[in-house]
Amino acid sequence: MESLFGVFLSAFLAATILPFSSEAVLAAFYVSGGGEAVSLWAVATVGNVLGAVVNWGLGRYALHWQGHRWFPFSSQQLNRAKSWFARYGIWSLGFAWLPIIGDPLTFAAGMLRVRLSIFLILVTLGKAARYAVVLQAADALKN
């Protein structure tokens, strides 16, 4: 149970403003026998998607704090995310799992008022696929 909580927490934090590697935590728990692949995959996916929802909410409701030093994203990150949206539209959320650009993309989705239902579908698909690949690679190490 504590391994599931650890995976959830690492996945959640990795999707928010904190730099964190949930993939390493997930793989370590799996390889060490800390849980079944399906359970770890589901918990990591849910945690990471919920973290992305926090970013979406920040983008939707907290943009007026952008000039503050503690604000989670730089202007450059936000501009990059906006340009992804301009080029690919909401489909760019399929790339929310990518390092560096993924978190600002979820923030930009909130700024641009992407409907939460569409956001959840696209972000969940990408993040679930990423964790499936991580577990598949960890399984190769385990065997």
Structural contact between residues 128 and 77, judged by C-beta atoms closer than 8 angstroms: no
For the stretch 124-136, pLDDT in tens is 999 999 999 999 9
pLDDT digits (tens, 9 = 90+) for 48-105: 999 999 999 988 887 777 777 877 777 787 787 778 778 888 888 988 888 778 888 8
Q: Where are the alpha helices (DSSP H) in 1-143?
A: 2-15, 22-31, 37-61, 75-88, 102-111, 116-142
In angstroms, what CA-CA distances link 107 with 10, 78, 138? 19, 8, 30
> Which residue carries 């007026």 as its tokens?
64
Rounded to two decimals, what is the model's pTM? 0.85
